[in-house]
Amino acid sequence: MSVLRPLDKQPGLNTATILLVGTEDALLQQLADSMLKEDCASELKVHLARSLPLPSNVNRPRIDLIVFVVNLHSKYSLRNVEESLRHVDTTFFLGKVGFLITGAGREGHCSIHRNTVVRLARTYRSPLLFCDLEVEGFRATVAQRLVRMLQICAGHVPGVSALNLLSLLRSSENPALEDV
């Protein structure tokens, strides 16, 4: 099936798998490394993909969280994410999808407006994180957040589900930005 579904596989024992989708492989690789440096009780797995759909003949674990990475410097990266989103089942968007935006720090290089990605995240009802992945300190911080999110999405944090987390994150948003 070319559409990713959140619950079409059995979970692995104590395993949490994140799928990072983005065109700039070097950035994804660095983020993956930063995430794996975190101390975590769960066994982490990071899958990197340039775009969706994923190759179909591969045996892969259940994906607990998908993070789409967009670089504000590259319209190509945004277009790639927009096309990839079509291959994700709607049930994934109940807290198991996030958007990570990089490149906001260097405004002169941005060819995508901030509002475009804000609207994208709002359309898909998913959390939006900004982080300049090229800066090690910022990358380490966002890696930490992603690991916590991943653990929740994999069900490894008792009492908190992906949907809980999603509503927690949404209620902290400025109410004026909610549904137009």
Beta pairing partners, 129: 100
Among the listed residues 42, 74, 84, 102, the single contact to another protein using CB under 8 A: 74
Asked if 156 interacts with another protein (CB under 8 A), we say no
Question: How many residues at the interface with another protein, by CB under 8 A?
Answer: 26
Asked if 173 is part of the footprint of another protein (rule: CB under 8 A), the reply reads no
47 binds another protein, rule: CB under 8 A: yes
**Which of 4, 24, 149, 151 touches another protein (CB under 8 A)?**
24
44 is an interface residue for another protein by CB under 8 A:
yes
First to last CA, the chain: 34
54 counts as binding another protein under rule CB under 8 A:
yes
Alpha carbons 136 and 155: distance in angstroms, whole number: 29
Closer to another protein by Cβ: residue 25 or 173: 25
Contact 125, 98 (CB under 8 A): no
Query: 4 - beta bridge partners?
Result: 88
Calculate helix-pair angle for 162-171, 136-153, nearest 10 degrees: 130
| 102 binds another protein, rule: CB under 8 A | no
The C-alpha angle 133, 164, 91, rounded to 5 degrees, equals: 80
SS3 call for 76:
helix
Binding of residue 90 to another protein (CB under 8 A): no
- Nearest distance, CB of residue 20 and another protein, angstroms: 10
Q: Which stretch binds another protein (CB under 8 A): 23-31, 107-115, 139-147, 148-156?
A: 23-31
161 vs 140: CA distance, rounded Å: 24
d(CA 175, CA 180): 10
What minimum distance in Å lies between the beta carbon of 56 and another protein? 11
Contact residues toward another protein (CB under 8 A) are 19, 22-26, 29, 32-33, 36, 43-51, 54-55, 58, 60, 74, 76-77
